[in-house]
Amino acid sequence: MTSWTPVISFLQCNRSGVVDPRAIVHRLLGIEAVRRQALLSFLANAGITAVGYLSTVYIAHAAGAGVLGAYFLFLAYYSIGALVSDGGFGGAAVRKISRGREEGAFFTAQAVVRAVLTVLCVAGTVVLAAPYMHDIRTTGLLPWLAAALAVGSASGIISSGVYGQGRVGILQAGECIAAVVRVTVQVLSVAAGLAVAGMAGGFVAGVLAAAAINARFLRIRPAAFGLRHVRALLPDAAWNFFSSLAAVLALYADTVIVGYFLDPTAVGYYRTQLQLATLSLFVATSLSVSLFPRVSSWHGQGETAAIRHALARALSYSLLLAVPVVTGGLVLRERLLYFLYGSPFVVATQAFALLLLAQIGAVIFVLDSMALSAVGKPRAVFVINALSCAALVVLEVALVPARGITGAAAAVLAVSIARAAGSRMALFRYTGTRAETGTIGRIAAASLLMGVFVYVLRQLVFPSSVVVLAGIVIAGALFYFVLLFRLERDLRREVSELVEHLGLPWPSFL
């Protein structure tokens, strides 16, 4: 604790001892840029995640797995179409803009190219692809899909400019507000009986909200551009596109294949488990968003040591939450599904366990792929994603007909392990980044002991109600953090300094 911490604490509390939010914001602005952006990303992602899970829980009870499955299929098709309309130019523009040269020209160039690609994509979806998209046509979602692609492209163009200038806080705030708007419209629509159409309409409303917020804070002015600007974007755009194509297919191939061999209800069971399992990812996602422009800038300046340190620490912080979430989820998996989504979803318990295990590999790959793209190695990301995608499709086609959604989850686990191993090797080759094995080992040890503690507690007090289950979860979390901060002094010091810098109280038992 520094000498000025008591002064801050005094200034940030009123006479009743309540923390003043305005003072917290003031202190937040005083944090070093990378940590501030990472913290903002974390808080925004936490908010988005919480809102998303709560809405899924409500819709699962109110509308059932069939409506959720149809909506998840809509998202799968949208993601593929959005990738085509982006063409990889969004990520390429972010890299160019982050280097501070000819920002306006590169921003305008990517905007024009993406606008043309969007027109072609929407036309191709409506005219060429629609006859083969039986599940979308029968649910009446084709017009919503076309609208989502058009609105999403405009929002993506604007966010590229905001992101390229390193305004990650604005980007995350926009996404958080968009999530609230999306979920609000979806919940109200489901309550009104609009079902799948209301879900798609809520998605479009959320994208519009994000676009409006980002446009308000966009500081890049459009400027004249030439063919040389488009050519300068092409190499990165090509690799970004093919790498993202493989990534999107790897992310949604299981959804499409489950929908093809089974039905939307099975998709609903499967994707809700996957969504719950990915709770462990939001720290890694937050850090990857905040670090990408920084790592790209450091790479341009030749600051390799800063890159290695930031990436090693980011992995430790990501696993700080991911490992205990996976461990606790494995112990309480059946009860979690029962109370969150309802008894019909318990049939997916085995799939949920496999998807939880897959998230450890996903954490590693999220950070590594971001870093490889930021240091100008999108080819490595593409190769890993392409091989992973091919392996996933083969495994899914082989396992889903025989084992259903459990087979789909087993395929995801196998590919997740292989992809994480490949990305680790590639990152070490190009940056020399090593994991903090001591810290990660202590995180694993604390998580394992927490798992034993939760299992014993579950046997002594059976979670027969939501209150009891929540109590077990809270007790497990407290046990984990107390133990971890006793084992890992550096993590405790960094987290406590950040909390105290914000003027918030640090629990004495930690």
What are the tens digits of pLDDT across the range 103-124? 888 889 989 999 999 999 988 8
Closest CA to 161 of 103, 208, 122, 120: 103
CA dist., res. 398 & res. 390, Å (int): 12
- CB atoms closer than 10 angstroms to residue 22: 9
Q: Residue 40's pLDDT is what?
A: 61
CA angle 456, 458, 462 (to 5 degrees): 140
Residue percentage of the chain with pLDDT more than 70:
87
Other Cβ atoms within 10 Å of 425 Cβ, number: 13
In tens, the pLDDT along 9-24 reads: 333 344 344 444 444 4
User: Is residue 370 over pLDDT 60?
Assistant: yes
Contacts of residue 252, defined as CB under 8 A and 6 or more positions apart, other chains included, come to 75, 76, 79, 80
**Range of weakest confidence among 156-165, 168-177, 216-225:** 168-177
Residue 98's nearest CA partner among 48, 6, 163 is 163
- The more confident residue out of 304 and 328 is 328
Distances (CA, A) of 132 to 72, 102, 136, 471, 497: 17, 43, 9, 49, 56
| Average pLDDT of span 373-381 | 84
- For 84, the token pair is 């085509």
> What is the value of pTM for the model shown?
0.77
**pLDDT of 36 higher than 50:** yes
Cα gap 252→79, rounded to integer Å: 8
- pLDDT tier at 441, thresholds 50, 70, 90: very high
Q: What tokens were used for 10?
A: 């005094």
Q: Is the pLDDT of residue 346 over 80?
A: yes
Q: Which residues pair with 13 in a beta bridge?
A: 19
* pLDDT mean across residues, the chain: 83
Q: What percent of the chain has pLDDT over 90?
A: 35
